[in-house]
Amino acid sequence: MTYQNPAQTGTEGQFEPSERTPVVELQGITKRFPGVLANDDIHLAVEPGEVLCLLGENGAGKSTLMSILSGMQSPDEGAIYVNGEQTVIADPRQALDLGIGMVYQHSTLVPTLSVIENLMLGASEKLILDASEARERLEQLAGMLGAEVDPHARAGDLALGQQQVVEIIKALWKGTTVLILDEPTSMLTPRGIDELAKMIDSLKEHGLAVIFITHKLHEALRMGDGVCVLRQGRVAGRLSADDLRSLDNDQLQERIVSLMFGDESGELAGVAELSAEVRHESGHDPSAAGSGRRQHAETATALRIRGVSLAPVASSHGLHDIDLELYQGEILGVAGVDGNGQRELAEVIAGQRDADTGAIVLHDGATEREVTGLGISSRQRLGLRYLTDERHGEGTVRTMPIGLNLLLKRIGQEPFWKRGAVQNAAIRSYTESVIEAFDVRAPGPDTPIGKLSGGNMQKVLLARELAFEPRVVVYNKPTYGLDVRTTQAVRLRIREQAERGVAALVMSTSLDELLEISDRIAVMSRGRVVGVVENGPGAEERIGEYMVGEVAA
Amino acid sequence: MLSEQLLTALIFGGLAAGMPLVLAGLGELVSQRAGVLNIGVEGMMIMGAYGGFVATLATGSAGMGFLAGGLMGAAVSLIMVVLCVRMGLDQIVVGIAITLGAEGLTSLLHAVQFSDTYPRIGRTIVLSIPWLSDLPVVGRALFGHHPIVYLTLLAAIFGTWALQRTRTGLAIRAVGERPEAVDAAGVSVVSTRTLAAMTAGVGGGLGGAFLAIVNAGNFIPFMTGGRGFIAIVLAMLARGRPLWVVVGAFLYGLSVSLATALQLVGVPIRTEVVFSIPFALVLIMLVLFGRNAYLPSALALPYHRGER
């Protein structure tokens, strides 16, 4: 099926007369789920050569709206116009035929297939696959994006940035006129984000319309020609290209924050994700961040890691001679691109993995306790805790209630078990107190944890690791994938614990986060700690230099 | 001890004994690659055996028997298609139910139809390929089988090619790993899996029919004796490659044939020991290659659009 380039049709849209017909227009889209109004009377339009940013918190209805546009779900009310004609999009195939290409938040590549096979999937008109024809198309689209892709690489072996290039090429395959990108930056490095921005620019030049979904304000301002803010399923407000040009950054930020969060925006001022924009655009010194820093010189050591190594394997760089010292009440950040040994280090400290060499020593005042040979639960009892980055994987048992997940690491221990018998009343009252104290939004203590949102699940995990006298806590990507509000709550907890003397090792791929909360920041690269930087003026630049390897370790 | 005649019998018997597993294993492999774990293949085999036997007995034509066996297997796999692929019920539960149900049903039908007699069907035609079948030892052993044997081997080669090089093969490989990707690409997950599950039914049915028509020449209740489960294992150990199913099945066939040969020669070993050789071999294969088994990520998981 071929479609006219909407830029050439010249006919005016029936409903909103403008110079050009919008490629896609949504009129009064409403979608209800049991108990939730996911989309409420949404109006949107995007024109060729325009990047529309859809901005909103998690749960604001962005993804539902886009799954309606891509045919995965159908709206309860409202109409969709493609190139000025009303259409019903019944399934993904039809969306593709209409020229709507979608890059989902979660990868839709089949990891065991090669790049070219992934691209041919669903695209081949003929029964017998024609790989050479597909390669030509791949080269053409890669050229248009200014990217290079090996057609025979296994998709699962590609770096995340490369996978995303393949996803975009796949979405463009059938002559797409609107490209929807759902939170495309969530798995990218800062450099990857720059490259993505360049690709979006070149798509714009080729006359494509792009809908860019994000919950990060600075990305919306950077990528978008227009910004549409969603809150609780409604369009809370819009900023046109003129607004973006005429207002300065502070004004824009203030305006968008108030649209995104309504009345609550006041209490969220100063959150790194929001303030990052100001620094990014105006080159402010990062010393504004990290206001909670303390001097650790006088305080005592809490944890010492000496010469810890782990042999590299195919899927991991391993660890190489890691030496780190962590002081009581200190927050030590660990920066680095994901997959450079952060998880391995965290698991070695927690006891989930044995190091090949080296020692881990827990200090308590004058006493030292080597924990290298101890198991997970002994370390747990000594106050050494690990907040995993796998909320859904090793973190929780989805089908079990919140209470049991809270006590997953203390099964059989008093007072929740007595002589092997579970004490339901004790568990229930404990769970209720945690739900209250950690502000977990849940129907009740018996709700299976899998039914909670990511943010609430993370609060439960945090409560689990911070209960019963923690002394050293390893936080692995503690705010990954959370909305701004929960992110802030989690950071407050980490700070609060540090003020009580609990030492924290915070691994994060967000440098903004580390600059905001850490006292010192260690940089990891290829399984090594390549440098440790005091947080303060100039820290960001020095960390950047360590990350790209300009400074000798 | 290994006379030329014995060697011929050994190889000939190995090919014949391995055939039911080749057929069932190939179908099972296609099904598994698409993410449908067909535990019911044992049931499809016994239904195919019964259907194939009755049709051959009635018409006197083994070809009609194979047709009936294949159709029977396909019909049983429709249960799997409706309940598992379309309605998303648990594949393992449905598969076990199919196996138990089919075993019971065929026993009952056999008892009603033949009471306690076990009528035999005549010898089936064999293809004697000129020149090749005159070669010493391997001539008769390799080139004197029923035509379906050669058709099946061609099907294995064709299947290997089709999985790699056709649109449908690509969709089958993808749907077993990440069905949401297939859905998002605009290919129907349900149709792809339906096709794959039906292939398993036809394979199982034909395998059962071969067992009854060629191997045994009659029908006995429960005659499949766990071959369907061995086919499931073979498909898993083959890591998605059809030709490895053929190799594994013939290895099994050879060990069955060896057991028979040892009996004939009169080696002083107890029959029970001799007849456990094939099963011991399967166990050894599992221990040696078990860790190489590859299962598609979405195997046995029903797909519902929009769920994560």
Output the DSSP codes for B201-240. Answer: HHHHHHHHHHIIIIIISS--TTTTTTHHHHHHHHHHHTTT
CB contact under 8 A, A129 and B165: yes
In angstroms, the CA B36 to CA B42 distance is: 15
> Does the pLDDT of residue B87 top 80, yes or no?
yes
Residue A54's beta-bridge partner residues?
Answer: A213, A228
In angstroms, the CA B219 to CA B213 distance is: 8
Smallest CA–CA distance from B161 into chain A, residue = A128
Q: How many CB pairs under 8 A join A and B?
A: 80
> Does the pLDDT of residue B189 top 70, yes or no?
yes
Mean pLDDT (whole number) for A419-442: 87
Q: Provide, as residue numbers in chain A, all residues whose Cβ is less than 8 Å from the Cβ of B173.
A: 110, 112-113, 117
Residue B93, pLDDT score: 95
* Shortest Cα distance, chain B CAs vs residue A402, angstroms: 20
Identify from A68, A105, A121, A453 which residue to disrupt to test chain B contact, counting B C-beta atoms within 10 A and taking the largest count.
Answer: A121
Please enumerate in sequence order all residues whose Cβ is within 8 A of that of B229, keeping only pairs 6 or more positions apart, or say none: B41, B42
* Shortest Cα distance, chain B CAs vs residue A109, angstroms: 6
Mean pLDDT (whole number) for B166-184: 92
Q: Provide, as residue numbers in chain A, all residues whose Cβ is less than 8 Å from the Cβ of B186.
A: 91-94, 96-97, 122
CB contact under 8 A, A113 and B167: no
Counting Cβ atoms within 10 Å, is residue A189 exposed (0-12), middle (13-18) or buried (19+)? Answer: middle
CB contact under 8 A, B184 and A102: yes
A170/B contact by beta carbon, under 8 A: yes
Q: Provide, as residue numbers in chain B, all residues whose Cβ is less than 8 Å from the Cβ of A109.
A: 178, 181
Residue of A172, A63, A73, A158 lying closest to A110 (CA atoms)? A158
A67/B contact by beta carbon, under 8 A: yes
Angle, CA B271 vertex, CA B266 and CA B275 arms, to 5°: 115
| Ranges A139-153, A394-408, B75-89, most confident | B75-89
Q: What residues of chain B have any CB closer than 8 angstroms to a CB in chain A?
A: 165-168, 170-171, 173-174, 177-178, 180-187, 296-297, 305-306, 308
pTM for the model = 0.74
H-type alpha helices, chain B: 4-33, 41-59, 62-80, 91-114, 138-143, 147-165, 167-177, 179-184, 189-210, 227-237, 242-265, 271-275, 277-289
CB contact under 8 A, B170 and A96: no
Per residue in A263-303, pLDDT (tens digit) is: 665 555 555 455 444 333 333 344 444 444 455 445 788 88
Residue A227's beta-bridge partner residues?
Answer: A53, A239
Reported ipTM: the value is 0.85
Hey, what CATH topology would domain B4-115+138-292 get?
ABC transporter involved in vitamin B12 uptake, BtuC (1.10.3470)
Mean pLDDT (whole number) for A182-210: 84
> Does the pLDDT of residue A12 top 70, yes or no?
no
> Does the pLDDT of residue A477 top 60, yes or no?
yes
> Does the pLDDT of residue B221 top 80, yes or no?
yes
> Does the pLDDT of residue A479 top 60, yes or no?
yes
Per residue in A367-379, pLDDT (tens digit) is: 888 888 888 888 8
CB contact under 8 A, A129 and B170: yes
Element (H, E) at A171: helix A160-172
Residue A15, pLDDT score: 40
A104/B contact by beta carbon, under 8 A: yes
DSSP β-ladder status, A209-214 and A301-310? unpaired
CB A403 within 8 A of CB A446: yes
Element (H, E) at B2: none
**Which among B180, B296, B305 is the nearest to A108, CB-wise?**
B180
The residues spanned by each domain of chain B are 4-115+138-292
- Give residue B158's identity as a one-letter amino acid code: F
In angstroms, the CA B103 to CA B227 distance is: 13
CB contact under 8 A, A129 and B166: yes
Residue of B70, B64, B28, B21 lying closest to B49 (CA atoms)? B70
* Shortest Cα distance, chain B CAs vs residue A235, angstroms: 23
